[in-house]
Structure 1
Amino acid sequence: MFGPEGPSVRELAVQALSSVERGYDLLAPKFDHTPFRTPDAILDAVGSALRSAGPFDAGLDLCCGTGAGVGVLAGVCRERVTGVDFSAGMLDVARERVTPTGPPVSWVRADARALPFAPAFDLVVSFGAFGHFLPRELPVLFAQVRSVLRPGGCFAFPLVAPPRPGSPGYWALLGFDTVMRVRNAFWRPPFVMYYRAFRLGDVQRGLAAVGFGVELQPLPEFGRRPDGSPRVRLVMARLPDRAQVPG
């Protein structure tokens, strides 16, 4: 699961018994050598889709981690790119490893549930971070994203189809979520990472509730499942061109 440059079992155990923020501070130097980093294939596919939808002026990578998604934004944004994360350790690694090749890049430490920005972005992306938010937190998260987008702005993120019930992937995710729930029942502070809690129907309803129009774009690079549905979709949530207050 982890290469020789990845974290040891002991390091993972220490991380798992920490808070989310402290855990990622500890993991940051080796994060890019774990399966938790978004694969380049997904980053490239999202970048290709966004180039067709763009260009954009200012972009924000929400929960940017070590900055892998910032490269996607740098390829589609003309003026500036910002990465925001609440882990100081992850941001330190991002500053060291990400070399801007397009618009200038800035890094901001902040909680995604309380973003310190005006409506100054045309595009917000996020990769692999939603498992760190409980379902009840999604309305706040989506409202925060809406608050930093200009009229007509877009919130885009990939969503992998859940594994079929009874498949090895299904049991692996169920087992992981069960272990996390048991851990959080007996240990404080909690470590929120639930891979099965971010469901497409809930996401669509939550985005619509704060004023987004939602489109689902298949990423053809990943093909389709036996039932014909896409293996990976790009969720494209757009605001109307003129600011409106949701009813």
Structure 2
Amino acid sequence: MFSPEGPTLRELAVQALSSTERGYDLLAPKFDHTPFRTPDRVVDAVGDVLWRLGPFGTGLDVCCGTGAGTTMLRGVCRERVVGVDFSAGMLDVAREIVPKPPGAIPIDWVRADARRLPFTPKGAFDIAISLGAFGHFLPAERPGLFAGVRDALRPGGRFAFPVAAPLPPSSREFWLLRGFDAAMRVRNALWRPPFVMYYGTFRLTEVLADLRRVGFDVEAPALDALGHRPDGSPRCRLVLATRR
């Protein structure tokens, strides 16, 4: 799961006993060599759909990390792209590694908490994305997070993010992630500051309801490029939320 360039077990332990923000500051230099980075095939699948829906003017990558999604977003926007993350370390890496080809539209990197997006005036963006970060938000925080993204979008603007299909309880991965979530709950009950990262709290039906509640119309088409399960259902869907 980790390449030789990834973090050591000791480094992971130190990060896990830090706050969420500090943990990602420490992880940032080796983040792209871990399984925590959204795979390129997912980024590309989302980008293909957005390319067909676009082009867009201005784009926002919420919880941009080291910029994989931001780079993709620049390919479907024509004016400006902004990457937002609360980890200064992740933004430092993004500034260093994201390509700057001649003539490319600018990318602004902004350090901010996604629950309190700082953009004024409201309605500045045509498209917002987020890839692989929602496990860092508790379910009670989602409506506020989604409302902040809504306010950053113009009326009719889109908010897009992938959601993987639930793992079957018969799979090894299902129990590994259940075990991880249980370990994180024990860690956060016994240790401060908390490190918020849960894999089992982002359920599609609940997420769609939260989006509708704060003022989005939503659809969730299959990301066919990522394949289907043996029963024919998609392995991943792309939530497309449109600001009313």
Q: What's the TM-score once normalised by structure 1's chain length?
A: 0.96
Distance 2:41 2:151 in 1: 30
Match of 1:243 in 2: none
1:239 deviates by 1.3
Match of 2:214 in 1: 210
Match of 1:237 in 2: 241
Superposition pairs for residues 1-247 of structure 1, below 5 Å? 1-101=1-101, 102-118=104-120, 119-240=123-244
Q: Which amino acid in structure 2 is aligned with residue 112 of structure 1?
A: A
Contact kept? 1:74, 1:100, Cα under 8 Å? no
Which has the higher mean CA deviation after the structures are superposed, 40-49 or 100-109?
A: 100-109
1:226 deviates by 2.1
Q: Which secondary structure state, in structure 2, belongs to the residue aligned with residue 233 of structure 1? A: strand
Distance 2:64 2:210 in 1: 22
Q: Which secondary structure state, in structure 1, belongs to the residue aligned with residue 168 of structure 2? A: coil
Contact kept? 1:121, 1:148, Cα under 8 Å? yes
Distance 1:141 1:226 in 2: 34
Q: Unpaired runs of 5+ in structure 1?
A: 241-247
Q: Unpaired runs of 5+ in structure 2?
A: none
Q: What's the TM-score once normalised by structure 2's chain length?
A: 0.97
Distance 1:111 1:195 in 2: 20
1:133 deviates by 0.1
Q: Which amino acid in structure 2 is aligned with residue 77 of structure 1?
A: C
Match of 1:245 in 2: none
Q: Which amino acid in structure 2 is aligned with residue 25 of structure 1?
A: D
Identity %: 68
Deviations along 1:130-183, one digit per CA (max 9) or x if unpaired, are 000000000100000001000110000011111001211110110110110111
| Equivalent residue pairs, number | 240
Deviations along 1:109-145, one digit per CA (max 9) or x if unpaired, are 0000000013200000000000000000001000000
Distance 1:193 1:20 in 2: 8
Question: What do you get for the CA RMSD once the two structures are aligned?
Answer: 0.8
Deviations along 1:38-77, one digit per CA (max 9) or x if unpaired, are 0000001110000001110000000000111011111100
Q: Would you identify which runs of 4 or more consecutive aligned residues in structure 1 move more than 6 Å?
A: none
